[in-house]
Amino acid sequence: MSNDYFRFKQFCVHHDRCAMKVGTDGVLLGAWGRVEGRRILDVGTGTGLIALMAAQRNPEATVLGIDIDEQAFYQAQENIAESSFNDRVKCVLQDVLTFSSQVPFDAILCNPPFFVEDTLPNSYERSLARNNSCLPFPQLIEKITTLLTSEGNFSVIVPSGLMQGFVSICLVEGLYLNRRCVVRTKANKPPKRVMMTFSAKSYDITEESELCLTDEKGGRSQEYKKLTDSFYL
């Protein structure tokens, strides 16, 4: 993914001016996260990747991407404008913590910053995109609850080591885990990421799954191919 752009089956994403490039985390969440409903919000849209994936998966929905970084916002605008989904996908330049909407969202997706202070990136833009101090989980989750419909879903991807803390914060804010997928890069490696979906409705059983990204030969696993088949060339 070292090129200035990444081409998918139904759209192309340029990322040369974005602090965070097209990456596996975004593709995974865009392919796995809940996108049911008429209104979808992508928090920290960056290149616009997840917003575009959501629009492809749900042809009936309008999608809004929001980002605080000016360069990412302009690049997302361009990526959206060049796509066939430009009539249903928009983006705004704003801090999500100060964002408000008269109409709540049926689905919210977020690939949040999660690095801590001792790994703060050198550039301001990368700090905004990657560092948890710029969008602390408690403030993010509290804000999500004000933007989500009572029947809506909030999907997120975080490092596996942060899972329990994230779930606990969500519980405090009245959001319950109802779906979880543990992600490993290799079958014999510890989990690297976890994708989760929360809602205001508590379920007796959480839907559990596991995804290994590579097969024994080092290529994309069959389960990874199946999840992303609608997107990867």
Query: Which tens digit of pLDDT belongs to each residue from 24-46?
Result: 999 999 999 999 999 999 999 99
E-strand spans in 51-124? 62-67, 89-93, 105-110
* Distance, CA of 53 to CA of 89 (rounded, Å): 10
Q: pLDDT (tens digit, 9 = 90+) per residue, 66-114?
A: 999 999 999 999 999 999 999 999 999 999 999 999 999 999 999 998 7
Calculate Rg over the CA atoms of the chain: 17
126: pLDDT confidence band, cut at 50, 70 and 90? Answer: very low
Query: What are the structure tokens assigned to 74, written together?
Result: 């302009």
Segment holding 143, helix H or strand E? helix 137-147
In which region does residue 37 sit, left (phi positive, over 0), alpha (psi from -120 to 50) or beta (all else)? left
Model confidence over 179-216: pLDDT tens digits? 999 999 999 999 999 999 999 999 888 999 999 999 99
Residues 197, 155 contacting (CB under 8 angstroms): yes
The domain limits of the chain are: 5-228
Token pair of 220, please? Answer: 């994309």
Q: Strands (DSSP E) along the chain, which ranges?
A: 5-7, 12-14, 39-43, 62-67, 89-93, 105-110, 148-159, 176-184, 193-199, 207-212
Give the CA count within 13 Å in the CB-facing half-sphere of 29.
30
| Residues sharing a CB contact under 8 Å with residue 151, sequence separation 6 or more, in sequence order | 106, 199, 200, 201
Average pLDDT of the chain to the nearest whole number? 92
Q: Which CATH number fits domain 5-228: 3.40.640.10, 3.40.50.2300, 2.60.40.3120, 3.40.50.150?
A: 3.40.50.150
Is the CB of residue 216 less than 8 Å from the CB of residue 188?
no
As given in the structure block, the two tokens for residue 38 are: 């008429």
Contact 69, 123 (CB under 8 A): no
pLDDT value at position 113?
Answer: 87
Say if strands 148-159 and 193-199 run parallel, antiparallel, or are unpaired: antiparallel
pLDDT at 125 over 60: no
- pTM for the predicted model, two decimal places: 0.91
- Using a pLDDT cut of 70, give the percent of the chain over it: 90
